[in-house]
Amino acid sequence: MTRDEGAALPWVPDEVDIDSPSVARVYDYLLGGGHNFASDRELARRLVEAQPNVREIARQNRAFLRRAVVFLLEAGVRQFLDLGSGIPTVGNVHEIAQAAAPGTRVVYVDYEPVAVAHSRLLLQDNPDAVMVSADITRASDVLDAPATRRMLDFDQPIGLLAVTIGHYIPHAADPVGLFARYRDALAPGSHLALTHLTDDFSAVHGDRIVSTMKTTRDNVFPRGRAEVLELFTGFELVEPGLVTTSLWRPDKGVHEVRDAEQDALYAGVGRLP
C-alpha cells in the first residue's frame, strides 16, 4: 500500500507513517485483521522468527480477554476502562460486554493513530463506548479526559483492563506507581485484569523479542512473576491467581493438551476490596 492509497482510507490519518511498524497494527495482523501495512507484516514476520508461536500467544491472549470480561460482568461490573486497547478486531470489549449486558459502558484508550481513528469510526453510532486518544503512562490525561468522565462513574466499580500493555512500560516510568495511580481512582469492587510478557520460561525467547522490538518505538520489557504481582498491589487476586493465559479459568469442556509455558504471558484478575 502506498501513502496515497493509505490516505484514501478513513481509518488512516494523514500523519501516519505507513512505513514505520506499529505494535497495535502487528497485533491486528497476528489476529487475522486487515488494518495493517507492509511494514507491520514485516515486523510480524521477524517476531515469528524470534518466537515461532507468536500467533498462538496472541490468540490465547485474546481468549483470556473475553473470559475476563465475562467474569467481570458476572461480578456485576458494568463499565470498563481498556488501557492500550489497540485496533478493534472481532471480539472487542464492547461487543462482548454489551451483548451480555446492554448499556455497559466502555472507554478505550490508545495513542496509536490508526487504532484511534478506526475505533472512532466503529463507535460513532454507539452511545455507550468511546475512544480516548492518550498515552496510558500519563494517568491524569486518561482519567481526567472529558470523554472518560462523561462515560464512567468513578463512584461505581470499574473493570480496568491492562491486557498486553504493562510490558511496554519502561522501568523508568515506574509501572507499579502508574498502576497505583489508576487503582486509587477506582471505587471498591473494581477489578484489574491484565496480561504481561514474561521471560520466566525457557519456551519464551524474551531476548529475541526484545531485540526485534528495539527496531520500533514500542520497546518491550518482560518481567518475572514477582514483578508482575507487584502491579496488583492493593488488589486481591481471584482464583486461580497469577497463571499463564490459557490456564486462567479455561472454558468448561475445553481441554487443550499443551505446554502452558508457551503462552508467554502471565494473566490474572484482582478485585479492589
| pLDDT tens, position by position, 26-85 | 998 999 988 888 999 999 999 999 999 999 999 999 999 999 999 999 999 999 999 999
Strand 129-133 relative to strand 236-237, pairing:
unpaired
- Label residue 80 exposed, middle or buried (CB < 10 Å: 0-12, 13-18, 19+): buried
* Cα–Cα distances in angstroms (integers) from residue 159 to residues 69, 81, 221, 239, in the given order: 8, 6, 24, 17
**Pairing relationship of beta strands 159-163 and 265-271 according to DSSP bridges:** unpaired
pLDDT of residue 115: 87
Residue tagged 490468540 (cell numbers): 59
Cα–Cα distance, 202 to 189 (Å, whole number): 37
CB contact set of 90 (below 8 Å; sequence gap of 6+): none
What secondary structure does DSSP assign to 21-58, as a single string? --HHHHHHHHTT-S---HHHHHHHHHHHHHSTTHHHHH
Pairing of strands 265-271, 236-237: antiparallel
Q: Which strand (E) or helix (H) includes residue 67?
A: helix 54-74
The residues near 127 (Cβ < 8 Å, ≥ 6 apart) are: none
Low-confidence ranges of the chain (pLDDT < 50): 1-7
Parallel, antiparallel, or unpaired: how do β-strands 79-83 and 159-163 relate? parallel
Residue in the block written with cell 485496533: 87
H or E segment and range at residue 267: strand 265-271
DSSP 249: S
| H or E element at residue 177 | helix 175-184
3-state DSSP assignment of residue 116: helix
Q: How far apart are CA 40 and CA 5, in angstroms?
A: 16
Predicted pLDDT of residue 7: 44
CB count in 10 Å sphere of residue 223: 23
pTM of the model: 0.91
Q: What is the pLDDT of residue 1?
A: 42
- The three cell numbers locating residue 98: 454489551
C-alpha 24/C-alpha 252 separation (Å) is: 30
DSSP, res 18 = T
CA distance 244 to 27: 19
Can you give the pLDDT at residue 4? Answer: 41
Q: Which domains does the chain have, with CATH numbers?
A: 58-204+220-271 (3.40.50.150)
